[in-house]
Amino acid sequence: MADDTTQSNASAKGERSRVQVAGYFLMLWLLFFLICFGLGYPTLNRYDPRATGGLSDTAKYYAMSTGGDQSAFREVFRRRILVPAVARPFYWFASRFPGTWDPGFFALLVANSLFCATTVCFIVSLGTRLFNDPAIALLGATLYLLSFAVPNLLLAGLVDAGEACFMAMLIWALLNGRWLLLPLLGIVGALAKETFVPFACVFAISWWLIEEKRDETRWARRHRHQLMWTAAMGVVGLATVMLVYSQVAERFAWPWDIALEARADVNYFMAVARAISQPNFWYVFGWLIPLGVWRLRLFPKPWVVASVTTATTALLLGAFIDAGGSIGRSVFNISGPLMSLSVAVLISRPSQGFLTETLRKS
């Protein structure tokens, strides 16, 4: 009887703990959503991203969100349907209440803020799990939001907030051993942006290869299952891209046909050099890289290696289509959570020595 009572009390305590954690993250999510909305506010009535050279793609997503004419747009834009689909109900709502805010950009801002707030909550969860310190996790989340990429790109009428969200979810799933979520991520990530599929596959395979291998039969079986879930993510993600493309283009296309259609006829090495020399790239990584590399050794090796290999893949794919400075968005979607948390560790836990003693005395 005593054992039953103890077990019941432990179960009730665990349930209360889960409810408290859920309430905490709900509060954080609402806070982050409001912060994101504020960061992206200038798009509502202070400037038109469609008139900005580097953000010309927003015209496509604006038309997709508002039901405008899309016939002149390339299929590569028209198949990124998730963020515009999420934005559409908010456009219908805003268009019925005329005001100074542009209803189309209001809808895109709300949709992107939803995804960005979710991304930042995953960053908090990752930081708390690794360092058992909510202060470091929240600082990392803050640094992520303050990065050049978030207010100027992710919240400026583009669709990269969706890809960034699902990349953060992928990292969370791998770190917590939730590999069975990968096929679902393959579907929703492909609907957000087709580049998520190769990025996620490279990331998961790199993680799987680097993760410590043990000889136990049970663990080896689990390791094989992880590879199966990764393969399933690639298959369903690729199928989703092909299905959406076929519907948008009104013709069937194999994956290599889609890739060749996007290929730019440029010198490959020059395209890579041009991408990493663009100011837009260094606006994003000018402080993330110099400050973020110093504490990477404190993070799980699979995460670090997977981020490097996938970011390199993004650079190579960006050169394949001659994406120029916009490659920085993809690299940030992949490495932003890791680098932001690494900078947070660097500035919140200075190494022992003169700096620590000086800060303590001051």
* Residue 67 amino acid letter: G
- Which residue in 362, 294, 265, 277 sits closest to 328, CA to CA? 277
- Cα separation, 253 vs 230, whole angstroms: 24
- Cα separation, 168 vs 129, whole angstroms: 14
- Which residue in 65, 154, 143, 134 sits closest to 106, CA to CA? 65
- Cα separation, 303 vs 206, whole angstroms: 9
Burial class (CB in 10 A: 0-12, 13-18, 19+), 252: exposed
Q: What is the pLDDT of residue 18?
A: 81
Q: What is the pLDDT of residue 219?
A: 61
* Residue 88 amino acid letter: R
Q: 312: which 2 tokens?
A: 């390199």
pTM of the model: 0.90
Q: What is the pLDDT of residue 319?
A: 80
Residues 36, 121: contact at Cβ < 8 Å? no
Q: What is the pLDDT of residue 216?
A: 63
Burial class (CB in 10 A: 0-12, 13-18, 19+), 358: exposed
Please name the residues in contact with 327: beta carbons below 8 A apart, sequence gap of 6 or more: 275, 276, 278, 281, 314, 315, 318, 319
- Cα separation, 299 vs 318, whole angstroms: 27
- Cα separation, 207 vs 209, whole angstroms: 6
- Cα separation, 160 vs 328, whole angstroms: 11
Residues 220, 214: contact at Cβ < 8 Å? yes
Q: What is the pLDDT of residue 50?
A: 80
Which uninterrupted H or E stretch holds 337?
Answer: helix 327-348
Phi, psi at residue 147, to the nearest 5°?
-65, 150
Burial 56-74 (b: 16+ CB within 10 A, else e): ebbbbbbbbbbeeeeeebe
- Cα separation, 191 vs 213, whole angstroms: 33
Q: What is the pLDDT of residue 359?
A: 53
- Cα separation, 33 vs 115, whole angstroms: 9
One digit per residue, the tens of pLDDT, for the chain of length 362 reads 555 555 555 565 656 678 888 899 999 999 999 999 999 999 998 888 887 666 778 888 999 999 887 777 766 677 889 999 999 999 999 998 877 899 999 999 999 999 999 999 999 999 999 999 999 999 999 999 999 999 999 999 999 999 999 999 999 999 999 999 999 999 999 999 999 999 999 999 999 999 876 656 666 777 788 999 999 999 999 999 999 988 887 788 777 777 777 777 777 778 778 878 888 899 999 999 999 999 999 999 999 999 999 999 999 888 877 777 788 899 999 999 999 999 999 999 876 444 555 556 65
